[in-house]
DNA sequence: TTCGCATTTGCGGTTTTTTGCATAATTTGT
DNA sequence: ACAAATTATGCAAAAAACCGCAAATGCGAA
């Protein structure tokens, strides 16, 4: 077994189990403990994993959080305020989940009277804190990573709604591929939401722009409005403007 | 189990329960008391927790000290553990919301494989933190005070379920009036849940016993099991036992 | 292919870390 | 104050990591 091969295998196992044991690896790969140790040491130096006595732990599980998180909250706040301005009394609004949406929920005018539909547990809670708006949770099996209700029943429920606005946090957007996601179930939900709304608003920090993921949610022509933290005239947004999307 | 893994597990448990017992940890993780003690000592030196006799306390919790709170949380923990013991692999379980249910969710065995249905946003989130159980959120209009989905659609959804167990936090219970609540919408949900389950388990601190509220949820004969923080032989529970309810 | 060179790998011996146990000391609750 | 439970301490065995070296392997060039 080649060195590269081994190291890829180690990282693969680490993604699967979040932990690997030196002894396991050496017997599985048919090499000596020392070799495994050296592999782990290298990978650790490359910052790919965390080496511990007896094996290694996945890095993603341990850290991975709250570095740029803090930085982005400011931007998300700018976005949230712009989005909140679009909401008017009496509207029926579908929303996805995600941190941008949570900020949006916090930014809503306290006098606002509107009805929000969402599949996201966290978003539902945030909306429910608001004094006057109505919140409808769309239920189904919960996808744990995203805390989103997904499945046929949720899609059906969404299909039975005629909303004025769909406010959607974006993961990836691109002039070629449009709006895309990595999770098939979530994609089904988002597609249904867009279909069920008169207008679709995408919100997200500009980092998410010009990137794509595996599964397409919608073409750009299905998107009506795009909100980022940038100035509407920022050149980064020009290509989207050319596709007929209104930028705020 | 690796050392770092153990320590992360300890901190995780501490976030969940605000308190851990040496003995609990050693049996859960399959290591000796001494090892756990040494782990706690290290974590304590790193300022990650506060070590006390018999276990450790969460740092954040210790600062905000509230006698009443602590007292009730301890009781709710006792209740939660008893309730968790009733759940077996493969079961379909309906649950209501409330703090007792949240504690119950935290106390579930990490290896458990079961499916939980709930109308409570908070409960759904808590269940979804569990590594292996399935969570189904039953959606509808959110009642803000209780963060519960209520309404005809939710009731219908519940009616289409055949659950093994219904675990219900109680607000008021009484030998005369049975189980009662103040919110009409919530009552509809709870009634539907009891009807949809083979067995109904009521959980709640003993304070809630021998009190009644405006609207009846169920007669005592519809309740199979009652769990409080008290010893099953406590005289306070005797009248309920006489009504054929099993006490844990 | 074959040769030479750099890298990689395995092994023996040593050091360090970790863990569990026994016993003594301490704390807790009654 | 006493009995039970919890903790500290010292110690020994096992596991893992480290070190240096020689053999093996991979790789590029002749």
pLDDT digits (tens, 9 = 90+) for A132-162: 999 999 999 999 989 999 999 999 999 999 9
A33 Cα distance to chain centroid: 40
What is the CATH number for B17? 1.10.10.10
Give yes or no for residue B73 having a pLDDT over 90.
no
The model's pLDDT over B133-176, given as tens digits with 9 standing for 90+, comes to: 999 999 999 999 999 999 999 999 999 999 999 999 999 999 99
Regarding whether A73 and A56 lie in a shared domain, the answer is no
Regarding whether A89 and A211 lie in a shared domain, the answer is yes
Regarding whether B230 and B143 lie in a shared domain, the answer is yes
In this predicted structure, what is the pLDDT of residue B77? Answer: 84
In this complex, do A139 and B138 lie within 8 Å of one another by their Cβ atoms? Answer: yes
Give yes or no for residue A68 having a pLDDT over 60.
no
Query: Which residue, of A45, A62, A79, is where some domain finishes?
Result: A62
Query: Which residue, of A14, A44, A62, is where some domain finishes?
Result: A62
Q: Which nt is closest to the CA of B51, judged by C1'?
A: D7
Search chain B and give the residue with CA nearest A130. B144
CA distance A50 to A41: 9
**Separation of CA A62 and C1' D15 in angstroms?**
25
Q: Which domain holds residue A124?
A: 68-247
**Strand C nucleotides below 7 A of a protein CB?**
8-12, 17-22, 27-28
Q: Which residue has 């709250």 as its token pair?
A: A66
Which residues 65-94 of A have a C-beta within 8 angstroms of B? none
Nearest residue to A137 (alpha-carbon basis) of B186, B115, B136: B136
In this complex, do B124 and A135 lie within 8 Å of one another by their Cβ atoms? Answer: no
Query: Which residue, of A40, A62, A84, is where some domain finishes?
Result: A62
Give yes or no for residue A98 having a pLDDT over 50.
yes
CA distance B157 to B141: 13
Shortest alpha-carbon distance between residue B152 and chain A (Å): 12
In this predicted structure, what is the pLDDT of residue B69? Answer: 59
Give yes or no for residue A211 having a pLDDT over 80.
yes
Lowest mean pLDDT segment, chosen from A180-184, A189-193, B65-69, B183-187: B65-69
Give yes or no for residue A66 having a pLDDT over 50.
no
In this predicted structure, what is the pLDDT of residue A70? Answer: 61
In this predicted structure, what is the pLDDT of residue A67? Answer: 47
Q: For chain B, give the percent of residues with pLDDT over 90.
A: 76
Q: Which nt is closest to the CA of B34, judged by C1'?
A: C20
What is the CATH number for A238? 3.40.50.1360
Regarding whether A123 and A220 lie in a shared domain, the answer is yes
Regarding whether B51 and B91 lie in a shared domain, the answer is no
In this complex, do B8 and A55 lie within 8 Å of one another by their Cβ atoms? Answer: no
Regarding whether B96 and B166 lie in a shared domain, the answer is yes
Regarding whether A136 and A26 lie in a shared domain, the answer is no
Regarding whether A38 and A92 lie in a shared domain, the answer is no
Lowest mean pLDDT segment, chosen from A98-102, B62-66, B80-84: B62-66
Domain count of chain B? 2
Regarding whether B239 and B126 lie in a shared domain, the answer is yes
From chain B, the residues in CB contact with A135 under 8 A are 141-142, 144
CA distance A181 to A169: 11
Regarding whether A36 and A146 lie in a shared domain, the answer is no
Regarding whether A107 and A54 lie in a shared domain, the answer is no
CB B70 within 8 A of CB B45: no
CA distance A16 to A10: 10
- Which of B113, B128, B152 to mutate to test binding with chain A, by most A CBs within 10 Å of its CB? B128
In this prediction, residue A119 has a pLDDT band, given cuts at 50, 70 and 90, of very high
Regarding whether A125 and A235 lie in a shared domain, the answer is yes
In this prediction, residue A199 has a pLDDT band, given cuts at 50, 70 and 90, of very high
Which residues 116-135 of A have a C-beta within 8 angstroms of B? 121-122, 124-125, 127-129, 134-135
pLDDT (mean) for B211-224: 95
Mean pLDDT of chain B: 91
CA distance B22 to B31: 11
């Amino acid at each position: 077994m080649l060195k590269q091969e081994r190291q890829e295998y180690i990282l693969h196992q680490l993604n699967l189990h979040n932990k690997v044991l030196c002894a396991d690896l050496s017997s599985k790969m048919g090499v000596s403990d020392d070799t495994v140790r050296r592999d782990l040491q290298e990978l650790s130096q490359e910052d790919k994993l965390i080496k511990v006595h007896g094996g290694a732990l996945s890095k993603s599980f341990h850290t991975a959080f709250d570095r740029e998180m803090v930085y982005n909250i400011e931007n998300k706040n700018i976005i949230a305020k712009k989005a909140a301005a679009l909401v008017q009394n009496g509207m029926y609004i579908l929303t996805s989940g995600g941190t941008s949406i949570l900020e949006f929920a916090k930014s809503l005018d306290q006098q606002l009277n509107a009805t929000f539909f969402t599949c996201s547990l966290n978003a539902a809670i945030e909306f429910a804190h608001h004094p006057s708006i109505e919140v409808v949770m769309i239920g189904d099996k919960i996808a744990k990573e995203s805390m989103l209700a997904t499945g046929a029943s949720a899609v059906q429920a969404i299909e039975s709604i005629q909303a004025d606005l769909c406010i959607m946090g974006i993961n990836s957007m691109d002039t070629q591929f449009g709006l895309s996601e990595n999770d098939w179930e979530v994609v089904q939900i988002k597609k249904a939401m867009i279909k069920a709304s008169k207008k679709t608003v995408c919100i997200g920090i500009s980092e998410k722009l010009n990137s794509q993921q595996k599964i397409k949610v919608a073409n750009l022509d299905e998107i009506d409005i795009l909100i980022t933290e940038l100035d509407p005239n920022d050149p980064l947004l020009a290509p989207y403007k050319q596709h007929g999307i209104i930028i705020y």
